[in-house]
Amino acid sequence: MTMIFGIPVQALMGQLLVGLINGSFYALLSLGLAVIFGLLRVINFAHGAQYMLGAFTALLLLTMGGVNYWLALILAPLIVGLFGAIIERTMLSRLYKLDHLYGLLFTFGLALAIEGTFRYFYGASGMPYAAPGALTGAVNLGFMFLPIYRGWVVIASLIVCLGVWFLIEKTKLGAYLRAATENPTLVQSFGVNVPLLLTLTYALGAGLAAFAGVLAAPVYQVSPLMGSNLIIIVFAVVVVGGMGSILGAIVTGYLLGVVEGLTKVFYPEASNIVIFVIMAIVLILRPAGLFGKDA
């Protein structure tokens, strides 16, 4: 058996893949957080709950309406995005003129309420969601077996991340968004409907979280609490990356996922906390984060 640093290649590659998959979710979620924060200046604590909502929507669409995975991958983000838009319009938008901490507290309450409701109706245990037939099985890469669905997760998240990056950095709508981030009053005076832009942005962020949730459903179990511990890790990812840059959020997400996977190989006891440790080190050396612009 081939060994690298005294570790079998299969184990190393296996954990690297697990890390890459976790990294895909970190990247998708921290991207959504960064997009929302960039324009709304709200840290969306409900992001984990929206991720869970995405997975649940896919599951319920399947069990109640017989909607398959591929359609759910499009429908669930739309439904959760709409839900997000309603929340933003009716409640969250009232808090913009206050201290930003109120937005954090509001979305924290929202997350508790959503997760509590689902736990009440569906219990705390996980429910399986089968991967679509086309993506089951595995391919032999020579040095290891790659389950096809896991490969798909990495590719799908990469495509979506790059798509969002393109939308924000290269399109006209994205230019409005970036301009509104810089100076909302001025952009509004040019006749751009900034409040609508804010609603759309929140819906986009929520939709991204839901997309990640649908992707995650066949990998992890669908459970009401699947997002609540994840979101704290994603917060750490966002602090490490700095919220100034979209690309920074994506890169940091993948990077930390891989680091976490490798830690599982070399020092498993620390794999739960390695991201937090990195966060602490980055804060000491570079408080603005790796890609952050603000001091």
Partner 1 sequence: MSGKSEPIATEQIAVHPRSGWIRLALLAVIAAALLLAPQFLYPIFLMKLLAFGLFAAAFNLLLGYTGLLSFGHAAFFGGAAYFTAHAVKVWGWPPEAGILLGVLGAAALGLVMGAIAIRRQGIYFAMITLALSQMFFFFCLQAGFTHGEDGIQSVPRGRLFGLFDLSDTMTMYYFVLAVFILGLLIIWRFVNSPFGMILKSIRENEQRAISLGYSVSRYKLGAFVMSAALAGLAGGVKALIFQFATLTDVSWQMSGEVILMTLLGGIGTLAGPVVGAGLVVTLQNYLATSDFPVTIITGVVFMVCVLVFRRGLIGEFFASKLGRKIGFRAEN
Q: State how far the alpha carbon of 121 is from the alpha carbons of 13, 43, 156, 159, 221, in Å.
A: 39, 28, 31, 34, 16
Contact window for partner 1 (CB under 8 A) among 10-18, 147-155, 245-253, 270-278: 270-278
For helices 47-65 and 194-216, the axis angle rounded to 10 degrees is 60
Question: Is residue 23 a contact partner of residue 263, using CB atoms and an 8 Å limit?
Answer: no
Instruction: Report DSSP state, residue 129.
Output: -
Is 276 a residue that touches partner 1 (CB under 8 A)?
yes
**How open is the CA angle 265-267-270, to the nearest 5 degrees?**
120
- Kindly state the smallest distance separating residue 29's Cβ from partner 1, in Å: 13
User: Which is nearer to partner 1, 63 or 272 (by Cβ)?
Assistant: 272
Taking CB under 8 A as the criterion, the residue among 10, 68, 117, 189 binding partner 1 is 117
* Contacts with partner 1, 223-242, as mask; x by CB under 8 A: ---------xx-xx-xx---
User: Which is nearer to partner 1, 71 or 228 (by Cβ)?
Assistant: 228
Cα 139 from Cα 146, distance rounded (Å)? 5
Alpha-helical regions (H) of 147-266: 148-170, 172-182, 184-189, 194-216, 228-241, 246-266
Closest among 202, 220, 230 to 49, alpha carbons compared: 230
* Contacts with partner 1, 79-98, as mask; x by CB under 8 A: ------------x--xx-xx
- Kindly state the smallest distance separating residue 223's Cβ from partner 1, in Å: 14
Is 123 a residue that touches partner 1 (CB under 8 A)?
no
For helices 148-170 and 9-40, the axis angle rounded to 10 degrees is 30
Taking CB under 8 A as the criterion, the residue among 143, 195, 287, 293 binding partner 1 is 287
Residues in the chain: 295
Is 36 a residue that touches partner 1 (CB under 8 A)?
no
Contact window for partner 1 (CB under 8 A) among 111-119, 143-151, 155-163, 198-206: 111-119
- Kindly state the smallest distance separating residue 110's Cβ from partner 1, in Å: 6
Footprint of partner 1 on this chain (CB under 8 A)? 41, 43, 91, 94-95, 97-102, 104-106, 108-117, 119-120, 232-233, 235-236, 238-239, 269, 272-273, 276-277, 279-280, 283-284, 287
